[in-house]
Structure 1
Amino acid sequence: MIVHLIPAADWPAEAVRPDPAVGFVHCSDPGSVLLPARALFAGRTDILLLEVDPALVGAPVRWEPGVPPVPGGPWFPHVYGPIPASAVVAVHELPLAGDGDFALPASLALR
């Protein structure tokens, strides 16, 4: 399972399209998703986590360093093509904890 961060206003959609600047869709796994969430969406309350089954994507999924790379940092799944809505198996809100930081939804933390 991989996850993709998306503003709630952008979902639902027919597909999540690759970032034209890099040619892929940025994704994470549950263990690393809070890193890009904090970097890109700090303080926002409208962020969703799309839970994606990579076997249903129909495009190459490659585990690579983050963009920009962090020396010794985690690798992330990059999807080299659109992620069709049919590959999204669940949608989760990304809540803010009491300290204003993101908290992984309990439904994903238990996996």
Structure 2
Amino acid sequence: MLFHVVPVDEWTADVAGPYAPASLTSEGFVHCSADESAALAVADGPYRDVADLLVLVIDESLLTAEVRWEGSRDMLFPHVYGPVERAAVTGVLAVRRDEDGHARELTPWV
């Protein structure tokens, strides 16, 4: 499974087609994380000030786009080189923050 952090409004903007965030155009791939703890770290870093934040759980075997594990030798990140079919998203989790605003847990999004 892959994990992708996304603001709610971006995930729900165009539900008719595959998910294609801005990074797909600007960088050529969709940034993902390898596990829930890495996704929480992303939510607590670059997305620290985003109130309504989700984590998509993506089944890599259901993607038609290539997935490459890239980065430094000690830290590899999965990158999806194409849009993410919504059928490949097997779960959607909400980021829950503590009273200080730190991303602490993932819970089912309803």
Same fold (TM over 0.5): yes
Determine which of 46, 49, 53 is the counterpart of 1:43: 49
> Unpaired segments of 5 or more residues in structure 1?
none
| Deviation at residue 22 of structure 1 after TM alignment | 1.3
Aligned amino acid, residue 104 of structure 1: E
Residue deviations 1:53-91 (CA, integer Å, cap 9, x gap) = 0001111111111xxx7x85x211100010011110011
Q: Secondary structure at the match of 1:9?
A: helix
Q: Secondary structure at the match of 1:104?
A: strand
| Deviation at residue 106 of structure 1 after TM alignment | 5.5
Identical aligned pairs, as a percentage? 34
Q: Which structure has greater strand proportion?
A: 2
Aligned length: 102
Aligned residue number for residue 6 of structure 1: 6
- The whole-number CA distance in structure 1 between the counterparts of 2:61 and 2:8 is 24
Aligned residue number for residue 87 of structure 1: 88
Query: Which 4+ stretches in 1 moved above 3 angstroms?
Result: none
Q: TM-score, normalised by structure 1?
A: 0.80
Task: Tell which deviates more after alignment, 9-18 or 23-32.
Answer: 9-18
Q: TM-score, normalised by structure 2?
A: 0.80
Determine which of 41, 50, 53 is the counterpart of 2:59: 53
Aligned residue number for residue 76 of structure 1: 77
Residue deviations 1:10-67 (CA, integer Å, cap 9, x gap) = 22332221512210000112231123222221132200111100001111111111xx
The answer to whether the aligner puts 1:17 opposite 2:20 as a matched pair is yes
Does the CA-based 8 Å contact 2:58-2:88 persist in structure 1? yes
